Structure 1
Amino acid sequence: MAFKLDTIAFDKTGTLTYGKPKVIETKFLYQKSKQKARKKLLMQIIGVVESSSDHPLAKAVSQYIEKTTTSSNITLESVTETPGRGLQAIVRINDSETLDLLPDEKSSSTYNVFIGNVKWLQENNCVYPSHVSEMKASSTLRGWQKSGYSIILIGLSSQSSNGYILAQMGIADTPRPDAAKTVSELTARGIEVWMITGDNPVTAKTIAKQLGIKNVLAEVTPEMKAEKIKWLQRRGITVKPPNKFLQLFKGDTDKARRAVVAMIGDGINDSPALAQSDLPISISTASDVAIESASVILTRSTLTSLITLVTLAKAIIWRIRYNFLWAYLYNSLAIPIAAGVFFPIFKVGLRPELASLSMAASSISVVLSSLWLKRFKEPKF
């Protein structure tokens, strides 16, 4: 499959990047009145909710809040995670001196919390407070997206009111240093490279541009990744005749065929896409589920190992073909001689022990040819 590979699809977080994002920008949308106290309480709420998730972005937010806020009077009553969207939780504030966290609302001890991307907050009817310019807030988000940041919004509502977006966070993940070179080498070998991510299109295209990836599928939910792999397979690839001479005899032009697609991912959510692909690939730091779903594991966690994989696969397949050709030519000549086919004509034959030796030499030559692969050296960059 690695020899036939036409297309390779990369998951972004944890594959093209290190998967250790950090909060770079934060903006709280409170008025100046009691802003510090409200911000502290909201951060405690965010920290409690995000600590319940294993998502890389949630971990980044939890670590950020742990550095700035220590005490917490928040009880997490329930939490639900929607893959590719965000978290929904119910929290209770145990402090008797609760603050008015919501605009134009009295203080409450119980809140609904929504943490996730823009679509998730919209689906849960969260809006910006009246004192916040939605145009200005959206402009801030677009600026973060153009910088390659993943966006998280925090919404809050009481049991009897609509939700309000009270905080924005920009989170950045560092691309792997060898990612751009790997993409360049794969493209040079005629392999089409795609990036599949749940990030918004602006952030996804920014990261893709940094890495030299032209094909991007953004805002893809985990359950849709397998469908995107199917689409890449059905999309196929154009096959050109080997040369103009054969084209004249066959009388045909370019043909299309199903594409052979590899998928490389590291998370639990990538396992359906890995199973759907023709060549599932994972890295050593991936989740156990992803590793179990993979046919190939990059043990060094360097993406340049993909180039080694492709180069080694080609070397093996061509060595197999060479062995078949050599064995065919050798046996087509050695078997008739050993069997005495030419004895009536030339009066020349082989003694039985030499005939047996000639047949053994065929197998020995193929084994020695195969052992030549021990001289394979991985490409250097």
Structure 2
Amino acid sequence: MLLFTIVIVFINRIYFINGIKALLQKSPNMDTLIMIGSGASLIYGIWVVIAISHGVTNNVIGINEKYMNSIYFESAAMILTLITLGKYLEELSKGRAASAIGKLIKLKPLTANLLVDEEEESVLIVDVKINDKIVIKKGDKVPLDSVVIDGEALIDESSVTGESLLVYKSNDSKILQGTIVADGYLVARVIKLSKDSTLEKIIELVESVNMTKAPIQKLADKISSFFVPIVIFLSIATFITWIIISKDFSFALEMSISVLVISCPCALGLATPVAIMVGSGKGAEIGVLFKSATALEELGGVDVVALDKTGTLTENKPVLEFVFPLEEENEIVSIMNSLEAKANHPLAFAVGEKAYSMKLKKQEVIEFKNITGFGLSGKINGNNYLLGSRKLLLDNNVIDQGELYEKAKVAEENGYKVLYLAKDLFLIGIAFIKDKIKETSKEAIMNLKSLGLDVIMLTGDNEVVANQVKLELGIDQIFSNVLPIDKGNYITNYQSLGKKVCMVGDGVNDALALAKADVSVSLKTGTDIAIESSDVILSTSNINDLYYGILLSRKTKKNIKENLFWAFFYNVIGIPIAMGVFYSLLGLKLNPMLAALAMSFSSLFVLFNALRLKLFRKEIYEKRN
């Protein structure tokens, strides 16, 4: 038995090495408790063997009967064996908890189809360079972040961005490493190497969260630093008490060792980090990337959600919705597009997209002029055209033939931008253009409000446009004509009222507000400065993912509290039993082996409880809503 125990002690010597180091550094930890508990059992067992040998040699009567049940080699061996088994099971559970990172890594393809002199060649992705041309076929994973230069396809981005619907890609579209071509054929130009890809950044973010500590974890660490010395004191006190009461050295030693072993603060140490690990991994799966453990913990505690308008609630892509022509509509749109094609501003894109959908060709424009701030002019087929603002037409005394000015006024009051087209100083058509609200924005606002949050909008747009968005989406309060510096001031004002504020934005003008908010959120489609200023990144442009992120944050924090409760409850119950508080009354006590088993069980309970976060699904809440 002694030889067997020495072998086990040698295999598990790391506990003794770390325990002694921690003791010498005056910061005893879990390994210190294991070292003292198993070490005391081993040393006392050796002493008993020597005592028995001495007694037998010297014919001491009753020596065997006295010590036959006091050889604690099996206790030392079983303490180390059970704790090591518990550690092994912990590592298996941690592996399951960290599986999100593994899944992301597996998304990375190993090879790419390189296009060289119109011939395809399969190469390792590490051999692909920026600007190389690659071919991606149906069923293939996109090997590297690229821009499409030929072909069209439907892409499954769910594994990387969380977008559940297939996304159409054609010329100039960006495609991301790890996404899958569900249908179609693409030739693309590589724009990022694997180490700089969007997928790699997501992996780095998830890993970095696991390296940071949540505020609640710092409290647990502080408690642990006091807990271990207190346990050592209680163990000594238990030994002294039972020596006095029972006059039995081996019984007192057994009780004190049980106190040391059952009190190992494994569960307390695991309570927060394992929940953070699972929560951040689940966030990556659903398209919500937390940059730190603090962000994951605090997002669920915000009171106010402040939203930027352009690009956050809207598509940031003007759409031509209505045309009121006094001549044939196709001709009106064709002329508008022919003029706008020579300009470079967002409204030109809206007109161009409308003309493309109507399959209209551009017409030749001569004597083109860009009248800065007002509009355009040019001659088409011998006719002089003006295209632009109401002021441009009024300044040129354009005649309204069909009360189009009145229609335009109503449209402007409803948040539309209006393009006026005049032919030879007669108004012949108007077009209503709007930055289209995202399809998911209304649902997102409704969901956020259902969580009891105040939802506000901060926008640089005029009051008419802002009010229109407010009415359409049901936002609680809006602030219009807001300058970038004022956005930060509004955040500060709410904070001065004791509110925790979450700011959501995607532009350079949101950077200050994002920096001042308690929790800042940006969209992956946003500018670099917005992403750098934020604590949380939404992988898609779907603002509704913020709702799921807040739910996940709340569930993670609840899970941490459950784990901490169990860790404390376990010790509150276990330590008194191990000390023998109930022994005299109920005969209830723990031997060191059962204490080691109970300690391992408490750690596994915490791990399995944290793994319940993996059951979080968007679909569950979509059905409820």
Q: TM-score, structure 2 length as denominator?
A: 0.41
> Structure 2 vs 1, CA of residues 152 and 213 (structure 1 numbering), >3 Å: closer, same or farther?
farther
Q: Which amino acid aligns with 1:22?
A: V
* Pairing 1:294-373 to 2, within 5 Å after superposition: 294-339=534-579, 348-373=588-613
Aligned partner of 1:225 in structure 2 is 484
Q: Which amino acid aligns with 1:212?
A: G
Task: Tell me how far apart the structure 2 counterparts of residues 188 and 307 of structure 1 sit (CA, whole Å).
Answer: 10
Q: 1:17-62 deviations in whole A, cap 9, x for unaligned?
A: 222212346899xxxxxxx9xx97x987765442xx5x5x564356
Counterpart of 1:324 in 2: which secondary structure?
Answer: helix
> Structure 2 vs 1, CA of residues 142 and 340 (structure 1 numbering), >3 Å: closer, same or farther?
farther
Aligned partner of 1:263 in structure 2 is 503
Counterpart of 1:9 in 2: which secondary structure?
Answer: strand
Shift of 1:358: 2.5
Asked whether the equivalents of residues 377 and 384 of structure 2 are also in contact (C-alpha less than 8 Å), the reply is: no
Task: Tell me how far apart the structure 1 counterparts of residues 608 and 367 of structure 2 sit (CA, whole Å).
Answer: 70
Asked whether the equivalents of residues 196 and 218 of structure 1 are also in contact (C-alpha less than 8 Å), the reply is: yes
Counterpart of 2:575 in 1: which secondary structure?
Answer: helix
> Paired residues, what number?
310
* Structure 1 range deviating more: 16-25 or 302-311: 16-25
Asked whether the equivalents of residues 150 and 203 of structure 1 are also in contact (C-alpha less than 8 Å), the reply is: no
Counterpart of 1:174 in 2: which secondary structure?
Answer: strand
Asked whether the equivalents of residues 266 and 283 of structure 1 are also in contact (C-alpha less than 8 Å), the reply is: yes
> Structure 2 vs 1, CA of residues 99 and 300 (structure 1 numbering), >3 Å: closer, same or farther?
closer
Q: 1:166-207 deviations in whole A, cap 9, x for unaligned?
A: x98642132222221221121121111112223221122112
Task: Tell me how far apart the structure 2 counterparts of residues 75 and 275 of structure 1 sit (CA, whole Å).
Answer: 45
Question: Over aligned residues, Cα RMSD in angstroms?
Answer: 4.6
Task: Tell me how far apart the structure 1 counterparts of residues 505 and 420 of structure 2 sit (CA, whole Å).
Answer: 26
Shift of 1:363: 2.0
> Structure 2 vs 1, CA of residues 25 and 132 (structure 1 numbering), >3 Å: closer, same or farther?
farther
* Pairing 1:93-172 to 2, within 5 Å after superposition: 128-129=395-396, 141-150=408-417, 170-172=432-434
Shift of 1:353: 2.5
- Which residue among 270, 279, 287 is the counterpart of 2:519? 279
Q: Which amino acid aligns with 1:174?
A: K
Aligned partner of 1:182 in structure 2 is 444
- Which residue among 318, 338, 353 is the counterpart of 1:21? 318
> Structure 2 vs 1, CA of residues 226 and 352 (structure 1 numbering), >3 Å: closer, same or farther?
farther
Task: Tell me how far apart the structure 1 counterparts of residues 525 and 481 of structure 2 sit (CA, whole Å).
Answer: 24
- Which segments of 5 or more consecutive residues in structure 2 lack a partner in the other structure? 1-297, 326-330, 422-428
Counterpart of 1:182 in 2: which secondary structure?
Answer: helix
Task: Tell me how far apart the structure 2 counterparts of residues 280 and 44 of structure 1 sit (CA, whole Å).
Answer: 43
Task: Tell me how far apart the structure 1 counterparts of residues 396 and 368 of structure 2 sit (CA, whole Å).
Answer: 25
Q: Which amino acid aligns with 1:144?
A: A
Q: TM-score, structure 1 length as denominator?
A: 0.63
Asked whether the equivalents of residues 501 and 517 of structure 2 are also in contact (C-alpha less than 8 Å), the reply is: yes
> Structure 2 vs 1, CA of residues 199 and 61 (structure 1 numbering), >3 Å: closer, same or farther?
farther
Asked whether the equivalents of residues 337 and 352 of structure 2 are also in contact (C-alpha less than 8 Å), the reply is: no
Task: Tell me how far apart the structure 2 counterparts of residues 137 and 275 of structure 1 sit (CA, whole Å).
Answer: 46
Aligned partner of 2:45 in structure 1 is none
- Which segments of 5 or more consecutive residues in structure 1 lack a partner in the other structure? 29-35, 80-86, 103-114, 155-166, 237-255
Larger Rg, first or second structure (1 or 2): 2
Asked whether the equivalents of residues 233 and 259 of structure 1 are also in contact (C-alpha less than 8 Å), the reply is: no
Percentage of pairs with the same residue: 28
> Structure 2 vs 1, CA of residues 142 and 100 (structure 1 numbering), >3 Å: closer, same or farther?
closer
Task: Tell me how far apart the structure 1 counterparts of residues 407 and 594 of structure 2 sit (CA, whole Å).
Answer: 84
Shift of 1:308: 1.0
Asked whether the equivalents of residues 75 and 92 of structure 1 are also in contact (C-alpha less than 8 Å), the reply is: yes
- Which residue among 484, 493, 508 is the counterpart of 1:234? 493
Aligned partner of 2:124 in structure 1 is none
Structure (1/2) with the larger helix percentage: 2
1:191 and 2:453 aligned: yes
Asked whether the equivalents of residues 514 and 520 of structure 2 are also in contact (C-alpha less than 8 Å), the reply is: yes
> Structure 2 vs 1, CA of residues 132 and 261 (structure 1 numbering), >3 Å: closer, same or farther?
farther
Task: Tell me how far apart the structure 2 counterparts of residues 20 and 92 of structure 1 sit (CA, whole Å).
Answer: 24
